[in-house]
Chain A
Amino acid sequence: MKLIIVAGPPSAGKTAVIRQILSHLPVKNAAYLKIDVIYANEDEEITRDFGIPTRKVISGDLCPDHAGITVLSDALLWAEAEGAEFLIVESAGLCLRCTPYTTESLGIAVLSAISGTHSPYKMSPMIALADAAVVTRIDLVSQAEKEVFREAIRDVAPAVEIVETNAVIGTGMRYLMKIINDLQPITDPAALTLRGSPPLGVCTVCVGKKQIGWENHFGVVRRLEGADTLFRGE
């Protein structure tokens, strides 16, 4: 199983980038999981347009990144059972402090070229821990703006791969596909951990326990099966 985790603020173009990835994959052997808070229909659209297995998790009162982290171990098993080679997870993209990327995955931060020069600084953990920063809506900005935006990304993540794209058309995607083609399968799903610590909080994810899977956490957790949240006491 190869894991791709796509993060980025709402309306940055995460789904458009994922649709481009799916249309560029030589074989349609991916599974897609969407995490959102209140509403999401991307899973239905992607199943309709690409014919691949999809699921969504609506986190409701729970932090969506927390929900995403706890369901991830189940989701890997689900994708495996579906016979997928790739699992693509799309985050809700609300709290820019959280970085849902794990070890042995490809972390993609999606940001819009018209979101203002300061936006890369504001979402610096999300970019700094990613492997690739995909800048969308590049067709709407002129050369100088492109370079200034790029410089802001370089300030927070000097080594991150920057891919500029008009994700509706797919320009520049060849560079992202090159990175995806080099992605290695996960060697041991049980050993996956988060790359960074989410912000301080009261649950086991928030206080820095990086293991994935509900079975490794206490407090309010959830499984992939069943929409209810579950309390696990120590």
Chain B
Amino acid sequence: MHTITILPGHDRNGNPETFEALHLRPGDTLAIVGPTGSGKSAFINDIEVFAQGDTATGRRILLDGETPPERFVRDPACKPIALITQTTKCLADLTVEEFLGMHLRARKITEGDLIEKTIRLANEFTGEPIRPECRISSLSGGQTRSLLIADAVIISNAPIILLDEVENAGIFRDRVITCLKKSGTSVIFVTHDPLVSLMSDRRIVMGNGAVKAVLEPDGSEESVLKHVTEIDLYLSSLRERLRSGEVLRETVAAA
């Protein structure tokens, strides 16, 4: 298990960031919030490439307190981080089965049933099931996202996962979060979603390309989280009913 340390850089005007050092320990969940263009994706991209002051933000990323050795950055089999981008298209011209098989080959894994396991997990996240013989390029945005997350958990087996806007592809994000927490994976969510933000242990607020605040709620948001969870369950049930073709005729009490 690894600890990631983020050392401050600067905002778009070159002013230094005010946090001291941010540690991401095994099993931690962290939400990055802020308006669009505030530097959220740049923040996780810094972590993904183990920036050493060579990106636009000037941040440095340490692994277990030290500059990571080159193979941890360049050899995917040693790299402890998997980034799932915002892009919901994967342009591999392969079937799902071939794609996962090629990834297993890249990782020199010979265990037999990981392809089925990965597809099974992906199908827990998505509404319309993925079949092994589907072409990767013809999967929907949500199916692609689900498959890449399941791959990161099962095949990449990455201890740290960076998820850029998990909510925007129409997948069951609560199931994704529960699954990731259960597997002991450290996760950083870039998110605009209140539930994802509140379910995370800590929250980083971004603005003008820099970290503005690091918040640790300490249970004080418990009541709001409970309320948002109920609202979310209600919205999910409506979503599923609408998806299945229902007409929602019930009368709802005004708020």
Contact = CB atoms under 8 A, between A and B. Distances in A.
Given A117-B93, A118-B93, A171-B51, A145 B148 contact: yes
A33 B103 CA distance: 39
Contact of B55 (A144, A145, A146, A169): A169
B92 A148 contact: yes
B229 interface: no
B54 A148 contact: no
Interface stretch (B10-18, B149-157, B175-183): B149-157
Contact of A116 (B76, B91, B100): B91
B103 A114 contact: no
Given A142-B90, A143-B152, A171-B45, A148 B106 contact: yes
Given A171-B49, A172-B49, A174-B54, A146 B76 contact: yes
Interface string A163-177: 010100111111100
A148 to B, nearest CB: 5
Interface string B40-56: 00000100010110111
A116 B85 contact: no
Contacts of A143: 76, 81-84, 148, 151-152, 156, 158
Contact of A147 (B51, B87, B90, B106): B106
Contacts of B56: 169
B103 A175 contact: no
Interface string A115-140: 11110000000000000000000011
B151 A144 contact: yes
Contacts of A114: 91
Interface string B203-214: 000000000000
Interface residues of B, number: 34
Contacts of B74: 162, 164, 175
A151 interface: yes
User: How many A residues touch the partner, as a band?
Assistant: 20 to 34
A174 B102 contact: no
B76 A141 contact: no
B91 to A, nearest CB: 5
A168 B105 CA distance: 31
B107 interface: yes
Nearest to A175: B74
30 contacts: A117-B92, A117-B93, A117-B102, A139-B45, A141-B87, A142-B148, A143-B76, A143-B151, A144-B82, A144-B151, A144-B155, A144-B156, A145-B90, A146-B76, A147-B76, A147-B106, A148-B92, A148-B94, A148-B99, A148-B102, A149-B92, A150-B106, A151-B103, A154-B106, A164-B74, A169-B56, A171-B49, A172-B49, A173-B54, A175-B70
Interface of B: 45, 49, 51-52, 54-56, 70, 74, 76, 81-85, 87, 90-94, 99-100, 102-103, 105-107, 148, 151-152, 155-156, 158
Interface of A: 114-118, 139-152, 154, 162, 164, 166, 169-175
